[in-house]
Every structure is written in structure tokens, then in C-alpha cells.
A and B are shown apart, each in its own frame.
Chain A
Amino acid sequence: MSMSWPTDSLTRAERRALAQSTSRPTSFNIARPAWTNAALGVGGLLALLVLWWLGTDVLASPDGFIRHFSPTTAIPKLIVLLSGPDLPVHILVSLRRVLVGLGFALLVGVPLGLAIGSFQRLNSATSPAFQFLRMISPLSWMPIAVMVFGVGDDPIYFMLAFAAVWPIVLNTAEGVRRLQPAWLSLASSLAATRWETLWHVILPGVLGHVLTGLRLAIGIVWIVLVPCEMLGVSAGLGYFILDTRDRLAYSELMATVLMIGLLGFLLDAGARALYRLATRSHA
């Protein structure tokens, strides 16, 4: 053969050494202890804080507007706000909306996902329609939602549930498709009724996938929540952002932004912990 790879001229030993050197990074990643990863993560967060501080306190001109958004004012302000009467109420209102929205999404998404995962024809029939609906920003339903559900929490519940339902449906359906056929033969060999098969085999079998879908849904809902709350409500973190802007309370605004990030981080960590708890025995 005329074509030759650069490695063709290497001896066997050299090739083995090359293979080892290229495979090392992956094995190194796997072997790295958990605390090293945690330390690296904390380091990254600290670097982010430093970048924020550099941008608002060091690099900005002394009388620049951006200095209002410095961490040196936002972080103390956040502590003050959290001990005050307002912010905790707004946080609770927002979290309640997230929970109700996710609850509706689960209520609709899990049965729908079970059906779609079980029947290939239903999957084929619904797949393009869902891709279409999924790509419509939930916020674009706002005017219609307000006309249908009225002003208040209801249109927000609708939009959050609408945003959260897709990852739950798709992951639940995937979970059903990945159920081990052996588990289903087991159920039929024990003369399980349809209900018993659903309750004792299918639901626990797809739980991990449902929780993965839930975690993705939490990420989406948390992002959609803030703009939703900027429209026609008088409480919640989105409302509070606009409120601080109108009061020209810029350090409070930045403190709220920080709080939104913090809560989102905690929600995601909670979802991950729930997933680990549910699948701890499978490892």
C-alpha cells in the first residue's frame, strides 16, 4: 500500500507507549478523587467572583454607572434583604409557582410519556407535533394565557408547566423503551395484572428517567420563571427585579440576580440528589 500513516514507522513498543499516553487523560479523569473535583469547582466559582469584582470595581472608571453592580455592595445587600421582610416572601412565591408548575408537568408528562413509550405508533404520531410545540417559547403564550386564565398566578402555572412538560414526556418515554424485557417477562410469569405490572415494574423502572427529565425541567422552569413574573403579577423574583429597577435600588437588583442564580443552583443540586437517592441501588 502506498498510503501510510505516520505511526506505521513506529516499533510495537513505541506504539504501545503512544496508546498509553493518549489514553492516560481519560483514566486520569476517572481516577481523580471527588474532593479534587469539588475543590476545582469552588476555585472556578471564586474565579467568577474575582472577574465580577475586576469588571465592576477595578477596571470600571471611578464614576462609572457599572460600579452600582459591584459584589462589594451586592453581597452585603443580599444578606440585609434576606433578613428583611420582602425578599423571603418573593422567594417563597416564586418557589411555589415552580412547584405547582412542575407538579402539573409531572401529572401530564409522566402518563403521556408512559403511553408514548409503550406504543410506537403513538410515538410516530406525536413526535413531530411535540417538536413543533416544544420550540415555541412559553412566553409567547403569555397574552393568550392571560386571556384564558385571567391575570394572576394561573397563566404563570400554565406557562411553567408548558415549558417543563417536554423533557418529562421525552425522558419518561425513553425510560419505557429502555425497560428490560426480562422484567416484563418476569411480571407476566408471575401472572401480574396490567396495574401490578405498571405499579411494581414499569413505574419504578422508569423512575430514574423521570427524575432526569425533572432535572432538565427544573432548569428550564427556573429560566422561564423570571420573565413570566415580569408580566402582570405583584410578587415573585421577576417582579422584584423590575421593582428594584424602578426604585433605582441597583445594589438590591444585583443582589436579587445573585439570589436567582443561587436558588437555581440549589434546585439543581436537589434534583441531582433526588436522582442519586432513587438510583443508589443500581450502581
Chain B
Amino acid sequence: MTQLALHPSRHDAPALETPVLQAPILQARGVALRYPGQSRATIEGFDFALAPGETVSLLGSSGVGKSSLLRVLAGLQAPTEGHVTMNDAPLVGVHPRVAVAFQDPSLLPWLTLEKNVAFGLDFKHQPRQSRAESEARVEMAIREVGLTQSRRKFPAELSGGMAQRTALARCLARKPEILLLDEPFGALDEVTRTEMQHLLLKVVRDFRTAAILITHDIDEALLVSDRILLLGGAPASAIGEWRIDLPKPREDFIAELGAIRVDILSTLRGTAQRRAA
């Protein structure tokens, strides 16, 4: 694995060996994924550790296997090799305190916004809680994303940004320890996307949740992440890692972010050239 670390602040040690001070909340070791009938693995040799409260972007071009990787980290898909642990326990199926949001907000059109946010809270594999507590959580989640006024609307009456906020609220209602976001803002316009990125920062701060963001947008990764992991190659693995110790929001640090951006792009170009050679 080629390694490229750039630290705009004080760290000098290679990022992959940066000790995680707190015990990782989610850990992947030697994860490989090969779909049946495929000659080549989609992912190979993927190692990863997520610290509590940390926001990590998995950055990579379309089709590199980011979404497959997220499915493995979410417990939606068992890896072919290696293993994923959450709080040191093997991840079997979806953990109730891991919330996943996809690019498609996946709202059910026959339920109101409120019911969509509450959807699944009473499922068998979710922790038991009283009706009053569920209602309080739903109300709190809707307030957090600023949709209290629209809570009785149906999805057909919501804009794309509102739909994605609703999907985020549905994640928050289960008080997640980890948010897994699969290009959640990919289908939104530029202005709405910026708003959603700020909302994400607020949510992560308010809920003290860790987050993994899958994205192909370098700027998005630069603005929201504590750490960026660049995925590339076939089968995909981590080809670079950057730790960004800048305060958020980061719109005032364009110069520092610009340097990392150039570095990410040159790493991508280097990988592409090696593959061509």
C-alpha cells in the first residue's frame, strides 16, 4: 500500500501508524469482499479503525467499491475474508446503534415525515423503549434537522434537501453511535449540499456520534472530515490517508485544504499511471 500523509498542523508520523488514542468503536481487519461469480475481488486487504466521535471520509471514484465497503462496515454484508468488530464484538448483521443513510433518501411515500422518522424504531431487533420515549426521540430528531413545521407532510410534498434531512432525522432517532452515510448529498444541488454539510457538522457535534461518509467529492471530504481515506485500485484498498486537524466549519482554511486537495489528486494520478504501466 502506498502511503502519503500530509499534516497541515503538527503531526509528522505516517498517518496509518498514528495511534488511535481511544479504543476504536468500529474496526475492520483484513477485509476482502468478492461477489460470487466474480473473478476479481471488489475489496482486498482493507484495514480501518474508527475512533469515537471521529468523522472519516472514504473517498474514491465511482465504481471503486465504496458502497460495497460501506455495506460491509454496516453489517449489511458479511466480508469474504477478514472481520469487522464494533466495540470489540464481531459485527453480525446490522447493529441497532449504527444508522445508515443512502443517496436515495428512501422515504416511504405512504408515511408522513414524522412516521418516516419513527420507521423501524419498534422493530424486533431494535432496543425496547416506551412509546413516549420513541415519540420524544422522533420529535428531537425532527427538531435537530429543522423540519418541525413539516412533520405532517408526505414525502411527495418535500424538496430533495428536505427529504435528505428527513432521512438524517430517521438515523438520529435511533441515537446512533455511528452514522454511515453513502453519498447522502450526491443528488442535491450545490447550495443545498453546502447546507447539508453544515447540518452534518452540527449533528455530529450535538450527538457526539462517529461518522463514516462515503463520497466522490474531494471538497466535501475536506470540509467535514477529521480523516480522509482514499480508496483506489482494483481490488480496492486504501491508497492514501490524510488527517486534517482544522476547526470546523472550514470555509476559512481554503489555502490549507487546497494543499491537501492537490496531494490527493496527485496520489490518484500516480495510482492511475502505475495501473496503466
> Using a CB–CB distance below 8 Å, which chain A residues touch chain B?
180, 182-183, 185-193, 196, 200-201, 204-205, 207, 281-283
Contacts and interface: CB of A to CB of B under 8 A. Distances in A.
B108 A204 contact: yes
Interface residues of B, number: 22
Given A190-B119, A192-B120, A200-B119, A185 B102 contact: yes
B274 interface: no
A201 B126 contact: no
B106 A186 contact: yes
Most chain-A CB neighbours within 10 Å: which of B108, B119, B125, B126? B108
Interface stretch (B78-86, B92-100, B248-256): B92-100
Given A182-B106, A281-B109, A281-B110, A191 B156 contact: no
A192 B109 CA distance: 18
Given A200-B119, A282-B156, A283-B156, A189 B100 contact: yes
Contacts of A201: 108
Nearest to B116: A186
A183 B104 CA distance: 9
Given A182-B102, A185-B106, A188-B76, A281 B154 contact: yes
A141 B109 CA distance: 42
Nearest to A192: B123
Given A189-B100, A193-B125, A282 B110 contact: yes
Interface in B132-161: 154-156
B172 interface: no
Contacts of A196: 123-124
A201 B125 CA distance: 16
26 contacts: A182-B102, A182-B106, A183-B106, A183-B108, A185-B102, A186-B108, A186-B120, A187-B120, A188-B76, A189-B74, A189-B94, A189-B102, A190-B119, A190-B123, A191-B94, A191-B96, A191-B120, A193-B124, A196-B124, A204-B108, A281-B154, A282-B109, A282-B110, A282-B154, A282-B156, A283-B156
A207 B94 CA distance: 28
Contact of B123 (A180, A193, A281): A193
| Interface of A, helix, strand, loop or mixed by DSSP | helix
A196 B211 CA distance: 27
Given A190-B120, A191-B120, A205-B110, 10 more contacts: A182-B106, A185-B106, A186-B108, A188-B94, A189-B94, A189-B102, A201-B108, A204-B108, A205-B108, A281-B109
A183 B109 CA distance: 10
A186 B99 CA distance: 10
Contacts of B76: 185, 188-189
Contacts of B112: 281
A77 B154 CA distance: 49
Instruction: Rank and list the top 10 A-B pairs by shortest CB-CB distance, nearest first.
Output: A190-B120, A281-B154, A191-B125, A186-B106, A182-B104, A189-B100, A182-B106, A191-B94, A282-B109, A204-B110
Contacts of A281: 109-110, 112, 154-156
A188 B125 CA distance: 11
Most chain-B CB neighbours within 10 Å: which of A180, A188, A189, A201? A189
Contacts of A193: 123-125
Contacts of B110: 204-205, 207, 281-282
Contacts of B100: 189
Contacts of A205: 108, 110
A185 B76 CA distance: 9
A281 B155 CA distance: 8
Nearest to A181: B104
